[in-house]
Amino acid sequence: MHPDHPLPAPVTEMSAELWNSAAGVLETNWAGDHMVPSRRLYPHQWSWDAAFIAVGLAYVNPTRAWRDLRSLFEAQWPDGRVPHIVFDPAMSEADYFPGPAFWGVPAYGSRPAHGSTGIVQPPLHAVAAWEVYRRAAAHGAAASQQARAELEWLYPRLVAQQEYLTDRRDLGGGGLTAIVHPWESGLDNSPAWDDAMANVPADLSLLTVYRRRDLAVSDASHRPTDTDYARYVGLVLSYRAADYSDTGLTERHAFAVECPSFNAILGAAELSLAQIAGVLGHTAAAGGHRERAQRITSAIVSRLWNPDTGMFHARDVHTGKLTPARCVSGLMPLMLPDLPAGQVEGVLAAMRSERFGLPVTSYDRTAADFDTLRYWRGPVWINVNWLLRRGLLVHGRRDEAEDLRAAMVRLVHRNGHFEYFHPETGEGLGAPSFSWTAALALDLLADRSVPAYAKAA
């Protein structure tokens, strides 16, 4: 056992080998004041990666966990949005595409020009901050004191993030946040976006002007296609043309979708903010957060549930139609404790079916276009399975949560800390030494507790 990364004392059943390898990945990927997802493919700081990473990093280096979150929120925009990438000024434009010059973000606050992207990612950060705080007691009084100070600093910024998303991004007017680029979902090329993306022009000539760099370090069969990328680039150019303003966005922007996963995380964030507000003595605010979580849950059910499939589906704001694709995003509202019993049972039935398996795949295994290799169109990802495990615990399904936890631990232990995994062989795919896989492996080994806002069994 590595002396710098001790195993938590209360835990008796875990793999020291996996623990130490995970801690080693996080040590390698630390970049001074933030964590990179992967040295080879993702050399900057990613938003929802930072949240997942903080959860596991808190076990081995809570100071870095807080610093990573603080570093991200130091780049928060004046309107409250937290950018999906914060660019490391030590890296060159050639190190990643699309890089800072492509996004053309002006200087704001203390951030220099071109310091970030102009889009967002799922707001998992309040959940992460609460989880890091919960672990602080295990590191002694000084860590607990630091944790409270960090919550004091983060809380108003987390609230501003939620307010931006629930106000300026309610493009459909139904109480849900709309994403305006597939990258905002974190599930970049998911089939959930296929119908909406079909209405986005795919100008392949853009890729002669803006050249992809991901294919230089990864297998093309694992990554989004050139057609996907042409549309991704076009959507950024469209959003950038009006300086990333959300005013009148649906009238001039081809992609606006209400994602069940994004909005489930939005609701979970409100519940974690209620916990944080309680610790900080903001009693009235805590009640407001819980009420907002209930409203988000109700809106997800009323707008995104399909009784014919027993799942949630993404809604195209432009057409009002639900996508027919059965994707892992449609299972994510299980995280919400106020989800009605009928929807809970529907999601559980879908998870248990041949469509998803264990660990859960990113897309319906029985679909004709299920792809075992290509990013979010079939492979297994640890982060969404980690979220689903939380959902199982929230609804008192402890045995199923333990089965999922064990399946994830076995997958990573056997195949390594990869970005994602082949759904049939378990082979590691994408970037190796991937930070959120390593961080969540630590949490899966150490924490079997039920979230504080779980529904009573």
> Domain limits of the chain?
16-446
Average pLDDT, the chain: 93
Closest CA to 139 of 24, 16, 26, 9: 9
Tens of pLDDT, residue by residue over 405-451, are 999 999 999 999 999 999 999 999 999 999 999 999 999 999 878 88
Q: Which residue has the tokens 């190190």?
A: 95
Q: What's CA 141's distance to the chain center, in Å?
A: 31
Nearest to 258 by CA among 172, 369, 132: 172
- Reported as a single tens digit per residue, the pLDDT across 161-196 is 999 999 999 999 999 999 999 999 999 999 999 999
What percentage of residues in the chain have a pLDDT greater than 90? 81
Q: How far apart are CA 113 and CA 29, in angstroms?
A: 25
Q: Which of the four pLDDT bands, split at 50, 70 and 90, describes residue 8?
A: low
**pLDDT computed for residue 257 by the predictor:** 98
Using pLDDT thresholds of 50, 70 and 90, give the confidence band for residue 94: confident
Q: Is 237 exposed, middle or buried (0-12, 13-18, 19+ CB in 10 A)?
A: middle
User: Sign of the C-alpha dihedral, residues 154, 159, 160, 162?
Assistant: positive
**What pLDDT score was predicted for residue 452?**
82
The CATH class given to the 16-446 domain equals mainly alpha
> How does residue 330 score in pLDDT terms, banded at 50, 70 and 90?
very high
**Mean pLDDT throughout 209-226?**
71
Assign 116 to helix, strand or coil.
Answer: strand
Contact between 339 and 346 under an 8 Å Cβ cutoff? The reply is no
Question: Which pLDDT band, with edges at 50, 70 and 90, does 141 fall under?
Answer: confident
52-66, 89-103, 352-366, 403-417: least confident range: 89-103
Residue 143's pLDDT is 85
Which of 98-107, 230-239, 347-356, 443-452: highest mean pLDDT? 347-356
Catalytic residue numbers read 188, 419
Confidence (pLDDT) at 6 = 55
3-state secondary structure of 380: strand
Contact 367, 191 (CB under 8 A): yes
Token representation of residue 309: 């499939």
* Tens digit of each residue's pLDDT (9 = 90 or more) over 283-326: 999 999 999 999 999 999 999 999 999 999 999 999 999 999 99
